[in-house]
C-alpha cells in the first residue's frame, strides 16, 4: 500500500466513523426523549407491555451510548503493548448488548406469565396511542442506525436493540387495539411474551457472534478448507502449515500461515502472489506469511553452538 493510498484510506475510515457517531447520537436523542414519556404512560395505563418497552428503550439508550464510547476507543491508534489498539472494545460492547437483551428476556417472560395468570386493568386507548408514537420514533431511530456501518458488530448491536424495540411497539399497539375493542386484558401479557421472544433471538445472535471473535474462530462465510486448497493449488507451493484465520474485530479478518515452495522459486514473489489472492478472493488483507524453500537444510542446534576446543560434549550426569 502506498503512503498516499494509506492516507486516503485512513481519512475515509475516519469520515465513516464520524458519520456513524452522528447517526448513533441522533438515535440516542430520540430514544431518551420518548423513553421518559413512555414510562409515565405505562404507569398511568398499568401496562406491562409499555413498561417493558420503556425498559427495553433504556437498554437501547445504554447500548447506543456504549457503542459511541466503544467506537471512539476503537479508533485510537495501536501503541505500546496494545499492538491492535482497542479495536476489540467494539466486540465487548456488542457482547454486553446481547447479554443485556437476554437478561431482559428472563424478566419480561416472568412478568408476562404472572400477568397472564392475573391480568390487571389496562387502559387500552392510552397503550395504543403511546405505541403508535413509539413506532414513529423507533422507525426514525432504526432508519438512522441503518445508515451507519452495520458490518461493525458494535453498530449492529445497537441496531438490533432499536429494531427489537420497534417490533415491541408494534406488538404493544396490537395489544392496545385488542384491549380497546374486546376488553381482553391478557393481550398485554401476550404482547410482552412476543417481545421477549424477539429479544431472545437478537440477544443470542449478538452473544454468539461476539464469542466467535473472542474464540478467534474464522469469520462467518470464510471457508478455511477452501483457503487451504487454494494455497496448495498455487504453482510451486508444496506444503502449507499452521494456517490460522481469525477476526481481530468485526470487519478485520487476519491470517497467518507457513508456506513451503520449490527451491527454484523466489519466496518473496510467491508471498506477494499469495497475499494478493487472499485479498482478492477472501477479503483478507492483514496477512502474516512465512514462505520458505522445501529443500532448505535444517542445521541441528548443537552444530551452531561454538564450544572451546577440548571442551567436553558429555551431558550432565554422564
**What is the per-residue pLDDT across 47-81, written as a single tens digit (0 to 9) for each?**
766 676 677 677 778 778 888 888 788 778 878 88
User: pLDDT higher for 230 or 13?
Assistant: 230
Q: Is the pLDDT of residue 281 over 70?
A: yes
Handedness of CA 26, 28, 33, 35 (dihedral sign): positive
Cell of 96: 454486553
172 vs 169: CA distance, rounded Å: 5
List of residues 6+ apart from 55 with CB closer than 8 A: 104, 107, 108
Cell of 171: 406488538
Reported confidence tier of residue 249, pLDDT bands at 50, 70, 90: confident
39 vs 243: CA distance, rounded Å: 53
- pLDDT for the residue numbered 6: 41
DSSP code string of 146-181: HTS-TTSHHHHHHHHHHHHHHHHHHHHHHHHHHHHH
Output the CA–CA distances (angstroms, integers) from residue 114 to 104, 193, 236, in the order listed: 15, 11, 69
Tell me the pTM: 0.70
- pLDDT for the residue numbered 318: 47
Residue with cell 427489537: 164
Tell me how many degrees the CA angle 76-78-82 measures, rounded to the nearest 5.
115
Tens of pLDDT along 94-111? 888 888 888 888 988 888
Report the Cα–Cα distance between both ends of the chain, in Å, rounded.
57
Reported confidence tier of residue 302, pLDDT bands at 50, 70, 90: low
In the chain the domains, ranked by start, together with CATH numbers, are 12-214 (1.20.1510.10), 224-302 (3.30.300.30)
Q: Is the pLDDT of residue 285 over 80?
A: yes
- The interaxial angle of helices 224-233 and 267-282, nearest 10 deg, is 140
DSSP code string of 252-307: EEEEEEEEEE-TTS-HHHHHHHHHHHHHHHH---EEEEEEEETTPPPPPHHHHS--
Task: Tell me the pLDDT of the chain averaged across its residues.
Answer: 81
Residue with cell 400477568: 115
Q: Within a 10 A sphere around the Cβ of 162, how many other Cβ atoms? A: 28
Instruction: Identify the three-state secondary structure at position 85.
Output: coil
Cell of 100: 443485556
Cell of 269: 514473489
242-255 average pLDDT score = 91
User: pLDDT higher for 60 or 16?
Assistant: 60
- pLDDT for the residue numbered 286: 93
- DSSP H helices, 75-217, are 89-117, 124-146, 153-182, 186-214
Amino acid at each position: 500500500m502506498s503512503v498516499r493510498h494509506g492516507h486516503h484510506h485512513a481519512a475515509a475510515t475516519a469520515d465513516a466513523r464520524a458519520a456513524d457517531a452522528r447517526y448513533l447520537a441522533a438515535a440516542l436523542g430520540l430514544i431518551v426523549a420518548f423513553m421518559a414519556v413512555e414510562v409515565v404512560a405505562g404507569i398511568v395505563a398499568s401496562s406491562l407491555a409499555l413498561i417493558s418497552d420503556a425498559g427495553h428503550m433504556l437498554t437501547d439508550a445504554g447500548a447506543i451510548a456504549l457503542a459511541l464510547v466503544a467506537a471512539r476507543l476503537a479508533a485510537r491508534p495501536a501503541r505500546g503493548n496494545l499492538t491492535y489498539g482497542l479495536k476489540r472494545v467494539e466486540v465487548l460492547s456488542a457482547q454486553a448488548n446481547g447479554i443485556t437483551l437476554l437478561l431482559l428476556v428472563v424478566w419480561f417472560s416472568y412478568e408476562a406469565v404472572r400477568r397472564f395468570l392475573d391480568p390487571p386493568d389496562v387502559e387500552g386507548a392510552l397503550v395504543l396511542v403511546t405505541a403508535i408514537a413509539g413506532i414513529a420514533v423507533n422507525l426514525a431511530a432504526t432508519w438512522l442506525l441503518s445508515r451507519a456501518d452495520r458490518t461493525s458488530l458494535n453498530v449492529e448491536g445497537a441496531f438490533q436493540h432499536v429494531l427489537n424495540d420497534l417490533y415491541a411497539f408494534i406488538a404493544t399497539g396490537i395489544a392496545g387495539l385488542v384491549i380497546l375493542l374486546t376488553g381482553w386484558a391478557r393481550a398485554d401479557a401476550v404482547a410482552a411474551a412476543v417481545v421477549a421472544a424477539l429479544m431472545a433471538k437478537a440477544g443470542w445472535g449478538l452473544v454468539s457472534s461476539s464469542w466467535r471473535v473472542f474464540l478467534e474462530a474464522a469469520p462467518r462465510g470464510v471457508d478455511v478448507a477452501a483457503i487451504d486448497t487454494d494455497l496448495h493449488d498455487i504453482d510451486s507451493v508444496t506444503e502449507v502449515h499452521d494456517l490460522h484465520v481469525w477476526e481481530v474485530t468485526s470487519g478485520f479478518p487476519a491470517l497467518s500461515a507457513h508456506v513451503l515452495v520449490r527451491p527454484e522459486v523466489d519466496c518473496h514473489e510467491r508471498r506477494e502472489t499469495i497475499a494478493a489472492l487472499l485479498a482478492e478472493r477472501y477479503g483478507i488483507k492483514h496477512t502474516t506469511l512465512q514462505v520458505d524453500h522445501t529443500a532448505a537444510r535444517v542445521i541441528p542446534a548443537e552444530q551452531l553452538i561454538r564450544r572451546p576446543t577440548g571442551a567436553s560434549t558429555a551431558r550432565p550426569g554422564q
